[in-house]
Homo-oligomer: A and B are copies of this chain.
Amino acid sequence: MKKRKRSARLVDMTRQLLAQPQQVIPLSTFADRYQAAKSSISEDLAIIEEVFREEGYGFLQTVAGAAGGVRYIPHISLEEAEKSIHEICERLAQPERILPGGYLYMSDILGEPNILHQLGLMFASRFTREVDCVLTVATKGISLAFATASFLNVPVVIARRDSRVTEGSVVSINYISGSSKRIQTMSLARRNLPEGSKVLIIDDFMKAGGTVQGMKDLLHEFNAEVVGVGVFAESRVEERLVHDYVSLATLTEVDLHKRRIKVQPGNYFSSERHAALRD
């Protein structure tokens, strides 16, 4: 890249940082790229850091030492997340969404890139422990898992709800789906997930949690560590198999006869609020 003035550097650096979340970029990379002194680059970064912080786009983290540099950590503030989730909850509460079995039609919402980015950013802001990959099970959670993984800059691994996996040696487990109460199968090829990985589970919907429990059982077979469970929408049920999870929306009532749905923000917001107050 040719020698750049500050104005052009700021545009390019902003783009570089946003396109490479979680990755440490050495200051020398920027200095070489723009033929600028490291001190100028540091001043540029201070300007970007201030805007990102004030506008709630996330953080620039300076990493010291030989492998040092600057890292962009995407983040959404609780306030912004609440604004988003309220709009989404309103859409979820449209009565024409009611499906048999207490389910909601959500494919349209979970097909919109803007919404998926917002939801993925919420999970990425919440699960800040070290994550090696995001696991989901086909089909409806895949886009959300990918959106989350993009902000965390880790790969997505997709389990299947059958054993017709053709990718070599496969691990299958049985699980009880909360909805059908039937024994179902979930599979993942050995080569999909390195042993001992730190895994974030993401799914679109949770009732009793049978599917999530299935994913946890599957991960156990890979000696993997579950660092978190995030679901877009949960439905209130009497008895839950999974207790440690983060939900973005909670369906408190789905009444097929009265055609009434009540949706409120999920436990993400109550627990985030508590964490914020604690700090």
Decide if B99 touches A167 in the complex (CB within 8 Å): yes
Copies in the complex: 2
**Stretch touching chain B among A6-14, A216-224, A238-246:** A6-14
Complex CA gap A191/B52 in Å reads 39
Complex CA gap A11/B191 in Å reads 41
A270 at the interface (CB under 8 A from B): no
Distance in angstroms from A10 CB to nearest chain B CB is: 5
Contact of A10 with B7 at beta-carbon distance under 8 Å, contacts A113-B155, A166-B100, A189-B107 already known: yes
Decide if A146 touches B103 in the complex (CB within 8 Å): no
Decide if B8 touches A103 in the complex (CB within 8 Å): no
Set of chain B residues within 8 Å of A19, measured between Cβ atoms? 117
Distance in angstroms from A190 CB to nearest chain B CB is: 11
Complex CA gap A149/B114 in Å reads 10
A138 at the interface (CB under 8 A from B): yes
Complex CA gap A50/B10 in Å reads 13
A237 at the interface (CB under 8 A from B): no
| Nearest B residue to A58, CB-CB | B15
Which size bracket describes the interface of A in this complex? 35 or more
Contact of A47 with B11 at beta-carbon distance under 8 Å, contacts A103-B166, A146-B146 already known: yes
A112 at the interface (CB under 8 A from B): yes
Decide if A158 touches B146 in the complex (CB within 8 Å): no
Contact of A11 with B117 at beta-carbon distance under 8 Å, contacts A143-B142, A158-B139, A166-B100 already known: no
Decide if A168 touches B108 in the complex (CB within 8 Å): no
Distance in angstroms from A245 CB to nearest chain B CB is: 23
User: A residues engaging B (CB < 8 A)?
Assistant: 1, 6-8, 10-12, 14-15, 18-19, 47-48, 50-52, 55, 57, 99-101, 103, 105, 107-108, 111-114, 116-117, 133, 138-140, 142-143, 146-147, 149-150, 153-158, 160, 166-168, 189, 191-192
Beyond the given A11-B52, A18-B18, could you list 19 further A-B residue pairs with CB under 8 A, ordered by the A residue number?
A: A7-B10, A7-B47, A11-B14, A15-B18, A15-B51, A15-B57, A99-B166, A99-B167, A101-B166, A107-B157, A107-B167, A113-B146, A113-B153, A116-B146, A117-B150, A139-B139, A142-B143, A143-B156, A146-B147
Q: Which 9 A-B pairs have the closest CB atoms?
A: A111-B155, A113-B150, A14-B14, A11-B51, A138-B139, A142-B142, A111-B156, A143-B146, A10-B10
